[in-house]
Amino acid sequence: MTNQTRILIVEDSPLFAEFFEEIMKDSGLFDVVDVATTGKEATRIAATECLDIITMDIHLPDMSGLDAIRNILSNKSTRIVVLTGDPDFATARRALDALTLGALDVRAKPTKPKEFSELATYLKKLTRLPLKRPSSKTKAPLARQRVSRRSDSLGIVAIAASAGGPQTLVDLLNQIPKNFPVPIVVAQHMSPEFSHHFCAWLGDTVPQTVRLGVEGARLEPGTVSVAPAGAHMRVATPNLITLDSAGPLIDCHKPSCSALFDSVAKLYGRNSVGIQLTGMGADGVAGLLAMKQAGAYTIAQNVESAVVGGMPRRAQEKGACCAVMVVEEIANYLRTRGKVRV
């Protein structure tokens, strides 16, 4: 079938590789080009075959999955998703480090038929995205708006991100000083198995204190609070975090970026900044628009500089953003608004 996705499976477990290959074939969505059991084999196949996507095990017999990703992406642009078993901290950290090398996402290996089906659907969606390896610092030509010089005091910064978000968050937060004067709240779509590990990894990578959102926790200046997987995180008076794990998915996600943005709009209004970063889909758009309508200054990442342009593009199309910026410009605006220097 001409519309089948050409996939390379890199996996050193024969049992998982065989089952995964059969699931991919039976879905009718994929042409399994090959199954590689070593990093060298994966690098050779990726260099010679035209592939739409690669799934990469983090543990390989001859080299780490990180080295294999580095070798593959040094030759050509390819979509790579890291799959790993139930991760301990060390494994999760290596998997998350893969995102800094150019992998699109990290996910736990499926164990049930429904999980395999959901993974197949997700991988197919990723292959519909433009293939690129952008830098968040890319100075793409923009039809720029004049950046608003707000006199309102800044009370909070809210950030939404999905696929491509971890590395973009690292790029952004590393350009903001540790003594940033207001709290930062983040909704980042992340597999439940990686949620806690992601916070620890991010906290080791950026200057701010990073915490996983906890019910009743107080928002503090210079602290990044990240929504946990499986719960909508909101802010409430008096500057507290609330979690809703029982509520339904919003925009197909839990945590929902829009749920976080909506709560910020209601509590902080003009004294807030909302930022829509890289990601697939439209989560966050409705909430970002609500922030804008409440008087907040709202920013969408420049699509050309985003790893995945779906979320910021939809924000622009819906008129939810006051400005469109690359990450360097977003950081500069936040430093100016927060009246701090690096």
Residues that are catalytic: 162, 189, 283
Bridge partners, 34 (sequence order):
8
Tell me how crowded residue 62 is: count the other CB atoms within 10 A of its CB. Answer: 13
Helix, strand or coil for residue 181? coil
Choose among 268, 285, 73, 54: nearest CA to 162: 285
Among candidates 186, 264, 258, which has minimal Cα distance to 228? 186
For helices 65-73 and 89-101, give the axis angle rounded to 10 degrees. 0
The arrangement of strands across the sheet holding 297-301 comes to: 209-212, 223-226, 184-188, 156-161, 272-276, 297-301, 323-325
> Do strands 5-10 and 272-276 pair parallel, antiparallel, or not at all (unpaired)?
unpaired
Contact 228, 195 (CB under 8 A): yes
Alpha-carbon span 99 to 133, nearest angstrom: 11
The answer to whether the CB of 226 falls within 8 A of the CB of 212 is: yes
- Burial of 2 per CB tally in 10 Å (0-12, 13-18, 19+): exposed
* Alpha carbon distance 291, 266 (integer Å): 8
- Residue ranges of alpha helices (H) inside the chain are 14-26, 39-48, 65-73, 89-101, 113-127, 165-173, 195-203, 257-268, 285-293, 310-317, 327-338
Residue at token pair 């929902």: 256
**How far apart (Å, rounded) are the C-alpha atoms in residues 39 and 31?**
21
